[in-house]
């Protein structure tokens, strides 16, 4: 069965500190992984996807098929990174996209 | 393009009443998704459509929930009768063919008293 697990509901770090939001998945086929972000009073939006292999707003995420993980990382957190982050999974070329429970990131000054 | 449009933005109703949430996807997108967001469970997929046809409704909680997509530019999610445990934010999202990226509406916050 498809499943996305984000073990931390809340993560609080100081500005300038490294941040890692954890995501593990369960999927029998070839998945496509995404990170979506919801800033205060804004729509949920795509942050990055594993196939693009690019850094967005300083965030990166590497798909580790051996550990079935897709952790989101940023070396130096900024206050504007405070938001709700969702890890998501879909089948390659497929439609159905499922999300984890989300992690709320607070970056303190 | 105004993006995915949902209405109403807020709905407060009493237990037992019928609730209808509406969604207009982005023009040209051929997949539409309904999600429910709660603090405890995050974003749950309720149902999704491809080319107006329901593909997977396994996430619909029970028979009180139903969804339709009569044409490419409109979908509804109906709850009848509503219960307090249905209180949540309901999101609609659309997707272009082969894209993978979901575009979300602003959500409909439902409170059932």
Q: Report the 10 Å Cβ neighbour count for B37.
A: 20
Subunit contact B100:A86, Cβ cutoff 8 A: no
Q: CA-to-CA distance for B4 and B77, rounded, in angstroms?
A: 15
**Is the CB of B106 inside 8 Å of chain A's CB atoms?**
yes
CA distances from B6 to A7, A48, B26, B41, B59 (A): 31, 24, 11, 22, 20
Q: Is residue B33 helix, strand or coil?
A: strand
| CA-based nearest distance B55→chain A, Å | 9
Mean pLDDT of the B48-57 span: 93
Q: How far is CA B24 from the centre of its chain?
A: 10
| Lowest mean per-residue pLDDT among A28-32, A35-39, A79-83, B84-88 | A28-32
List beta partners, residue B55: none
Residue B73 in this model has a pLDDT that exceeds 70: yes
Residue B23 in this model has a pLDDT that exceeds 80: yes
**Is the CB of A20 inside 8 Å of chain B's CB atoms?**
no
**Is the CB of A103 inside 8 Å of chain B's CB atoms?**
no
Q: Are strands B10-13 and B108-112 parallel, antiparallel or unpaired?
A: parallel
* Confidence label for A93 from pLDDT (cuts 50, 70 and 90): low
Mean pLDDT of the A11-40 span: 94
Subunit contact A96:B105, Cβ cutoff 8 A: no
**Is the CB of A84 inside 8 Å of chain B's CB atoms?**
no
**Is the CB of A46 inside 8 Å of chain B's CB atoms?**
yes
Subunit contact A101:B42, Cβ cutoff 8 A: yes
- Residue B3 CB-density burial (10 A; 0-12 exposed, 13-18 middle, 19+ buried): middle
* Confidence label for A92 from pLDDT (cuts 50, 70 and 90): low
Strands (E), chain B: 5-7, 10-13, 19-24, 31-38, 42-50, 53-56, 65-71, 74-79, 88-95, 103-104, 108-112
pLDDT in tens, B74-89: 999 999 999 999 999 9
Mean pLDDT of the B9-34 span: 96
Subunit contact B55:A95, Cβ cutoff 8 A: yes
Residue A82 in this model has a pLDDT that exceeds 90: yes
- Would you say A47 and A31 are in contact if contact means Cβ atoms under 8 Å apart? no
């Amino acid at each position: 069965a498809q499943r996305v697990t984000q073990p931390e509901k809340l993560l609080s770090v100081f500005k300038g500190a490294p941040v890692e939001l954890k995501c593990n998945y369960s999927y029998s086929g070839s998945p496509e992984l995404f990170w979506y972000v919801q800033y205060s009073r804004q729509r949920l939006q795509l942050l990055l996807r594993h196939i693009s292999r690019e850094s967005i707003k300083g965030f990166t995420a590497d798909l580790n098929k051996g550990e079935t993980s897709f952790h989101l990382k940023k070396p130096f957190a900024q206050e504007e990174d405070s938001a709700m982050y969702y890890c998501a999974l879909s089948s390659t070329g497929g439609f159905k996209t499922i999300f984890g429970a989300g992690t709320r990131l607070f970056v303190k000054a | 393009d105004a993006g995915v449009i949902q209405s109403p933005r807020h709905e407060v109703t009493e237990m037992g009443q019928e609730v209808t949430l509406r969604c207009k996807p982005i023009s040209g997108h051929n997949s539409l998704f309904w999600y429910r967001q709660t603090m405890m469970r995050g974003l749950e997929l309720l149902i999704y459509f491809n080319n107006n046809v329901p593909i997977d409704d396994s996430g619909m909680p029970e028979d009180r929930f139903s969804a339709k997509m009569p044409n490419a530019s409109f979908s509804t999610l109906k709850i009848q009768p509503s219960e307090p445990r249905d209180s949540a934010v309901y999101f609609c999202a659309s997707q272009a063919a082969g894209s993978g990226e979901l575009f979300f509406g602003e959500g409909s916050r439902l409170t059932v008293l």
